[in-house]
Chain A
Amino acid sequence: MFKLYATILKDLRILLRDKVGLTLMFLMPVVLAIVITIVQNSTFEMVNNNKMALLLCNRDTGEAAKQLESAIEKVGMFNVTKIPPGEDEKQISERMGSKDALVAIIIPATFSSELSARTKDIAARALKDVTIDTTYAAPTTSGQIGPITLYYHPVLQASFRQSIQGALKSTLQIVESRQVVRNLYQNLNEEQIPDTLENEIITNQVPITEIPVSRDGSRSIPNASQHNIPAWTVFAMFFVVISLGGSVVREKLSGSFLRLKTLPTNYLVALISKQLTYIVVTFFQALVIFSIGILIFPKLGLPKLNLPADIGGLIIVTLMCGWCAASYAICVGVITKTQEQANGLGAVSIVLLAAIGGILVPSFAMPSSFKYIMQLSPLHWCLEAYYGLFLEGGKLKDILINILPLLFITLVIQAITLIALKRKNLI
């Protein structure tokens, strides 16, 4: 035990004197967590809190176009700026550049008249079946309405464009339905529909209640911090590969390793010491990042991180993730020959494992073929275990299904390390 204690003390001393390594290990994940959460939070707000700048060019003077204009303003997703109807495509694109608007909508001059003709036709056809009206005449127009043009900035991702299209279709539906209802009422009652009735028919939609599914029955809605902080904590833990993997290689290449081999102590003591030391380091990383999520995030205008109810489970998951991360880093250090190799392989492999593990892209959004590959990534199981606690309100027993594969992967990594050490005659 004294040898292990002395080795841990040596590792801690070396670690604490490596200011650059410490900065990388603690500052990098904090910066990542803050930046990514700010970005995701503002994206969420942009989509949901009327933040997206939109240019609206209404070339139609009709009633339906005014209704559409008003409906777009009420969507709550856009910051609408109206532009003169005479502007052409080039002027609009210039305005989009100068005003930083990501989207522009052009309502064509014939929108109201075409919509009116179409809705009258629909109403007439509907009444023909009900009243056996022999006066029904074939429509004078094709029944089609000229398209509403949507210009968008190329940086706008497909998911945003689909959200905008969905909102636009919904407003068009309201305008069209209003016209149909008015025409039907007019034809049936030979008078205009009262505003109150029209509003009841058009706007009285069935409400949708969103309820997050949780294991503990709590109804708190997960925020961007609940998603991001566990993900970037796992990423940071595995990024100790740069410091620890490099340290193993340095030790292997330096004369100190030669001396260690001639001393009456097994090198496994050094490996156990490194694992224990870096489990403590990763635990502190998690502690720092979680503390920042709780204490600093609200001061930055970001949602506060809510810790799960099962703190014991959280500690065990953190220790397990740390053990796996330290084992992986040591394995990289053992199988590589130079520090450059260790840094390159370590960094690239962690980014890849993070990508396939659901840290960079949510696992539910992955192609089906990746759903099997992602199970090979230890980061996936770490993240699932954290999400089980943070998002699903689970307890330790609920996330054993994530911890056991993580334990298995850790043991496989340890076995690979031992085989590599044996093959290189290092133990």
Chain B
Amino acid sequence: MNNEAVNIENLQFAYRDQPRQLFSDLNLQIEKGESFGIFGPNGAGKTTLMSIMTGLIEYTGGSVKLLGQEVKTKKKYFNKRFGFVPQDFSFYQELTPKENLEFFGSWAGLNTSTINKRIDELLDVLGLNDVRNKQVQKFSGGMKRRVNLAISVIHHPEVLFLDEPTVGVDVQTRFAIIDYLKNLNAAGMTLIYTSHQLHEAESLCRKIAMIDEGKIIVHDSLENLLSKHQQDGLEGLFLSLTGKSYRD
């Protein structure tokens, strides 16, 4: 039985308006049930790689398989097997959390009774029960982040992609979100995560890949990498591998 959540082989990709290839023969494997972190400086290609894995961007060459299915040729219904937490707030600000979950739940292919059950569970566990009927546009940044996350997991996906899920939130919300993600992972959900919050990444990810200028420069368990590069934290490892110069 195939145990790979993601299998990328010889990935080729270039943006239309850029002459240079962003990815050239990139290879990456992520196992099911893993809590996997992808890190790198700004412009390294983290978000692009996540967009390719979720099918938002079409790649030009190589193979990208998600749960054994080639992403380029997968049918739309296959999308119910994964979830995506985009960096931006990806919901309707005019609606309440309940209404957003009702709508996105239906688009994820759930029926009414499952949606209602999941809404109660998610709003409760993410501390949004008291504001379930208030318009999201009046929420704080932390509450919006939790709504963003709740929508992404309403259909209980096998793989969850998270693109900087805690950016701009306070410490309490960050801890709550990371705790919730750990619970999801413990229940068997594969997490593929990218962030600049390296301290939180240390507590969440067991395996990581560092990406720079479109290439994977290291890919191993966090423990092995720290030991191999004689670092005591992810931040030190990051700087030792990518340098201290600006990358904007």
Residues of A near any B CB (own CB < 8 A): 2-3, 5-7, 9-10, 13-14, 17-18, 254-256, 258-266, 269, 425
Could you tell me the distance between the alpha carbons of A258 and B83 in the complex, rounded to whole angstroms? Answer: 12
Q: Which residues of A contact B102 (CB under 8 A)?
A: 6, 9-10
Q: Which of A254, A258, A262, A264 contacts B77 (CB 8 A)?
A: A264
CB contact under 8 A between A265 and B86, given known A9-B103, A10-B92, A258-B56: no
- Per the bound structure, the CA–CA distance linking A3 and B102 in Å amounts to 10
Instruction: Please report the C-alpha to C-alpha distance between residue A10 and residue B76 in the assembled complex, in whole angstroms.
Output: 22
Q: Judge whether A258 and B90 touch: CB under 8 Å.
A: yes
Q: Does B95 make an interface contact (CB < 8 A)? A: yes
Instruction: Mark B94-129 against chain A: 1 for CB-CB distance below 8 A, else 0.
Output: 110001001111111101100000000000000000
A-B contact pairs, 5 of them (CB 8 A): A254-B89, A258-B88, A261-B55, A269-B107, A425-B58
The verdict on B180 contacting chain A, using a C-beta distance below 8 Å, is no
Is A258 a contact of B107 with CB atoms below 8 Å? Answer: no
Known A-B contacts A10-B92, A254-B90, A261-B56; the reply to A3 vs B80 at CB < 8 A is: no
Q: Which residues of B contact A14 (CB under 8 A)?
A: 92, 94-95
Q: Using CB atoms, name the residue of chain A closest to B152.
A: A259
B76, B89, B99: the one within 8 Å of A266 (CB): B76
Residues of B within 8 A of A263 (CB): 79-80, 104, 107-108
Whether B106 contacts A3 by the Cβ 8 Å rule is: yes
B58→A254 contact, CB < 8 A: no
Least CB separation from B58: chain A residue: A425
B238 within 8 Å of A by Cβ?
A: no
* A10–B99 touching, CB < 8 Å: yes
A334 to nearest B CB, angstroms? 18
**Residues of A with C-beta under 8 A to B87:** 255
| A402 → chain B closest CB, angstroms | 38
Min Cβ gap B180→A in Å is 19
The one of B58, B106, B135 in contact with A2, judged by C-beta atoms closer than 8 angstroms, is B106
In the bound complex, CA of A261 to CA of B92 (Å): 15
Do residues A259 and B91 form an inter-chain contact, with CB atoms below 8 A? yes
CB-CB nearest in chain A for B109: A264
Give A283 to B59 CA distance when docked, in angstroms.
45
Minimum distance in angstroms from A20 CB to a CB of chain B: 12
Looking at A2, A10, A263, A266, which has the most chain B CB atoms within 10 Å of its CB?
Answer: A263
CB–CB A262/B84 < 8 A: yes
Closest residue of chain A to B88, judged by CB? A255
Question: Do residues B99 and A262 form an inter-chain contact, with CB atoms below 8 A?
Answer: no
B79, A262: Cβ atoms closer than 8 Å = yes
Could you say which residues of chain B place their CB within 8 Å of the CB of A17? Answer: 94, 135
Chain A residues contacting B15 (CB-CB under 8 Å) are none
6 smallest CB-CB distances across A and B, nearest first, come from A255-B90, A6-B106, A255-B88, A259-B90, A264-B79, A264-B80
Say whether B49 faces chain A, with CB atoms less than 8 Å apart: no
Chain B residues with Cβ below 8 Å from A7 are 103, 106-107
Are A259's CB and B76's CB within 8 A? Answer: no
Q: Which of B24-81 contact A (CB under 8 A)?
A: 54-56, 58, 76-80
Chain A residues with Cβ below 8 Å from B77 are 264
Q: Which residue of A lies closest to B106 (CB)?
A: A6
In the complex, which residue of chain A has the Cβ closest to the Cβ of B161?
A: A262
